Amino acid sequence: MSTTGTRPPHAAPRVAVDLVILTVRESRLQLLLIERGKQPYLGRPALPGGFLRGHEKLDDAARRELHEETGLNGSRLHLEQVHAYSRPDRDPRGHVISVAYLAIAPSLSEPVAGSDARRARWTPLEQVTSAPDALAFDHAQIIADAVERARSKLEYTTLATAFCADEFTISELRQVYEVVWGRSLDERNFSRKIRRTEGFVVPTGAKRRPETGRPATLYRGGPAKTLYPPVLRAGIDGDLR
C-alpha cells in the first residue's frame, strides 16, 4: 500500500469528525469503539467518525456519522464539540484535521445496530486507558480529553441527566456521578443536594419499586443547564473504590 507520502507538500488539510460516545453500562463508564475496516490501522479499535462532506457543518457531520456508524439517533443525544486535533503526522494518509465531539448516551442504549455499524461495540474506558497504544491514530488522547470534559461538566452542569433514561431515580443519577468520577458519594447528602438545586430534576409523581426496599421517587431532567452551587468532585467525601 502506498497511500502515504503521495500528496503534494502543501495540500490543503482534509477535515474529519471523531466521536467519543460515552455511556454507563454494568456500573462502568464505557465508550463506543469500531473496528477499522480499512487501512491505515486495519482491524484496530478506533473512534467512529469520518470526513466532512460538501458544505456540511461540523455538528451535522457529527450527527450523521453518529447515526451511520452506530445506529444511534443523534437528535436525542447530548452532542458537543470538544477540540480540534491537527498534528500533521496524526494520519499517515496526509494532513487530516479532526474535530472531536463528545456524545452522551443513556444506559439503555442497545449494543448498536445500523448500516455501517456491524463492527461497533461498547468498550469499558478502563480497557482504553490501560492499553492506549492499541487504538488507531491519536484516538487515545482524544478519548482522554473528552472524558475529562465530561467529568468536569458533571461538576457545574446538569450533564449527568444525559446518561440517564427519560425517568430516573436519584440513586441512578448518583451512580452516574460515581461511575464517571470513579469515587463514591454519600447517597443521603447527594440526594438532598440534587433536589435542592432548583431546576436540576423534577419529580414525575411516579415511584419505582425496587426488588426489595422503599419505592424511589422518579424524576426527569429539569430546565436548569448549569449548577449553582456546583457538585465538586475534589471534596473529601467518599473513598476511591
Partner DNA sequence: ACAAAAGTGTTACATGTACACCCATGT
Partner DNA sequence: ACATGGGTGTACATGTAACACTTTTGT
Query: CB under 8 A: which stretch of 46-54, 123-131, 188-196, 210-218 binds a copy of itself?
Result: 46-54
Q: Based on the shown chain and the rule CB under 8 A, indicate whether residue 193 belongs to the binding site for a copy of itself.
A: no
Exposure class string for 147-173: b at 16+ Cβ within 10 A, else e = bebbbebbbebbbbbbbbeeebbbebb
Q: How many residues make contact with DNA (CB under 7 A)?
A: 29
What is the distance between the alpha carbons of residues 10 and 116, in angstroms, rounded to a whole number? 33
Q: Based on the shown chain and the rule CB under 7 A, indicate whether residue 232 belongs to the binding site for DNA.
A: yes
Cell numbers found for residue 154: 458533571
Q: Which partner from the list a copy of itself, DNA, none does 212 bind, CB cut-off 5 to 8 Å by kind? A: DNA
Smaller CB separation from DNA, 93 or 207: 207
Contact 185, 194 (CB under 8 A): no
Residue 7 makes CB contacts below 8 A (sequence gap 6+) with 93, 94, 95
Smaller CB separation from a copy of itself, 97 or 134: 97
Q: How far, in Å, are 7, 90, 164 from residue 3 at the CA level?
A: 9, 14, 43
Query: CB under 8 A: which stretch of 27-35, 55-63, 112-120, 189-197 binds a copy of itself?
Result: 55-63
Among 88, 186, 199, 206, binds DNA (CB under 7 A): 186
Q: Based on the shown chain and the rule CB under 8 A, indicate whether residue 56 belongs to the binding site for a copy of itself.
A: yes
Among 9, 213, 223, 240, binds DNA (CB under 7 A): 213
What is the distance between the alpha carbons of residues 138 and 153, in angstroms, rounded to a whole number? 23
Smaller CB separation from DNA, 83 or 208: 208
